[in-house]
Structure 1
Amino acid sequence: MRLATAAVAAFTSLISTAAADRAGHVYIIDQSNQPHSRDATDLDTLSPVSARLVLAQRAGVEDYHAADLESEGVLDAINEYGVKTPMFADGKDERRRKLNMMVLVEEAAQEDVEASKLNQYPSFAVSPAPGYTASRGLWIDLAKQSEPSIYGSLSDEEALEQLSKLPDSHVHDTFHISTSIDELQNLLNHEKITEKYTITAYVTPPGKYAQTGDGAWQWGSYSMPSTSADSQATLRKRSSSRPIAEAPLEDTSASSDSSFTTHDFTAPVAAEELHSNKKNTSTSPLPGILPQCFPSLSACQETTRNCSDHGSCYKKFTDNSASDTSRYRDCYVCGCKATVKETSSDGGKTTTYWGGSACQKRDVSVEFWMLALFSIGFVFLISFAVGSVWEMGGEELPSVIGAGVSGPSAKR
């Protein structure tokens, strides 16, 4: 009996160890919140799809991942680990909010994580964890979704090189890929970074499994900003799963066999091609979510289609704290201008005002003086009506109403 009990305990321990080796961990590090210790047995475990939705929501690009919102447990996971947005937040609250830094830490041993004291921050497990290739692809896609003007025209290799560098400016949400837990610890020890950013770190599991992952468990598919200017679809589907080779039904050429191993993502177009096709897409909706700042004048003009022909790009400010070679040093935005059109032959004109990041939104607000006069007139009309009814009710009734009316006579 004791031998059977010991065997069951050993088998259970082996299963738990194997499951831990196949699980990644996401840590939400915000120095403004008080750290708290948490028992490992109470740690929530999310599927890769649910974890991806949480990461996308924290990166502010959840619109590209909306297809999986109805999956089981996704909304509960976002409510628990996502960014909390106040219902009645004003502009000052938005400016005071911390920036997001999404950090991918590859192959960190459990003892290194415990030594770094990451367990004191809110966290959850991702099991079974996707492999390195899928995780790197997800981080590249999140960066392209968040900052299409910066990463959209880069290949995956170029974007990976950019994400491997530490940020030299602190005015944008940042994505970074780290190769060790020590590098993440250096970020946490950087006072300026912890003041500016809320860090969301995904630590992949160590070992051979993390290098390949489980083919049936990857991050899933989602939409990406369109990189084809003449495409009618504003979004394209992209899967972070590694392509799985299949046996062909018949003999095919070598080129068709290689389609299972090559990168099946749509290649970005060059800026010149995008600029040449701008005239053909001037009436189509702008794809994706436009950033508030563009790193260069050409990027602003190409991404916004020259401010939708309703204005022009200009330099709004320069971040002097950034290096001269930083892509975040300059901030170019659209300056919108009013459009005046003649409505009739007698010289009548209508003026249309524009707004939005690309001057693509029509301003339908009413002039202040018109709104003020209408409000004052409406209040005066209501006051006059109430006063008239009140004055009428305060008058005495005419005596003729009581004429001919008398009480019963007394009986004798």
Structure 2
Amino acid sequence: MRFLAGITVAALSGLAAAASSRPSPDVFILQAKQQHPDLSSPSPPSIPKEVARHILLQRTSRDPYGSDLRDIPSAVGIETAVNFITQFGKSPAPLFSASEASDASQLVVILEGTTAENAGQLKEALVKANPASGAFSISDPPSATANQRLMTLFRNQGIAAAAQCDIASAINPFNSACWTGKSSVVKYDVQKSPETIHTLLDNLSRLLKFTAAGDLEAVLVFLPESSRTSKLNNWSALAAGDLRRRQETETVLVSSSEEETISTPAAAAAAAAASTQAPSSSRAAAGTAKAIPQCFGTFNSCMTQTANCTGHGKCVDKYGPAAGKSHCFTCACLATIVETGDEPGSRGRKTVHWGGNVCQKKDISVPFWLLTGFTIVLVGAITFAIGLLYSIGEEPLPGVIGAGVIRASK
């Protein structure tokens, strides 16, 4: 009997040890209304990178997210992917909500190069603070190149925070230096900046206060060091042409048009490190945009506060080196070249011109005036032709012809 009891105790201890040593999830979600974990499941669900990408985009999208799920693997299925996006994505806004000021800000923290040694303590602290925070695992984490492309996507939409924004400032939704609107995305390489994990661990209680108060919803993505050299160089399996077409057809703030080419390499390099201006310094004014000044005193302030002219231009000194003139840096908009067409044989290129004080608007003045001028000329020609035909019909007949139709006298 004692022998059987000893075997039973050893077996139960082994099961408990196996349960406690199971891999921690790659993605943690902290929010005011935490979902209760599925106790029947031995571990959090493992989902493909494409579904994880849709979850991140749905959370940070400023417009209603019209997701195109053509890149979902057939092994997962559209219905399953929608269930995951609904479960782990941002809750829909109330139907009759008067303002977005009551919505929680959305933060995505991507941590590259994590291992059991450098991130294990942080994961344990997250589970201990909130057992329901462990959301899911990414079954096929992509490479560092794919992560950079994903950040380029967020940066092109004005969501990525400044490159110099530290983690202690990034988790504060009231910090105007790291936030643009209601969404922010930051990425850190733990191998290059190991202090990021320690700083996040020290500020974990502060982060939990923001989420408990409903001011913030945070998604922490732990990408293992082993995935840095993965052969998966994109978060989506769609071809580049399909992803570019999605950007033109969907009314969403997300797409995979990471390969849009800026006409100058210097502007492209600067756009990768630029940040966007925060709309306000307080929560009450979070939904109102701060006016962009006409002039900036320095080149760096122009780059920082305009996201390098929204990635579509460069900051230049308006007056140049002229004597007696103070520096006035403004945005000089450039043209971008994008590829069009979906099939290899039908692909082409088109040039897009930009305008506005920060080059945030497409310049459609040339097509507009061409169409307007052509319409005016066409309407004028048709009107002239109709008037000419009418005037010819109103002219009296010649006398010779008129004589042939005079009534004979009796």
TM-score by length of structure 1 reads 0.46
TM-score by length of structure 2 reads 0.46
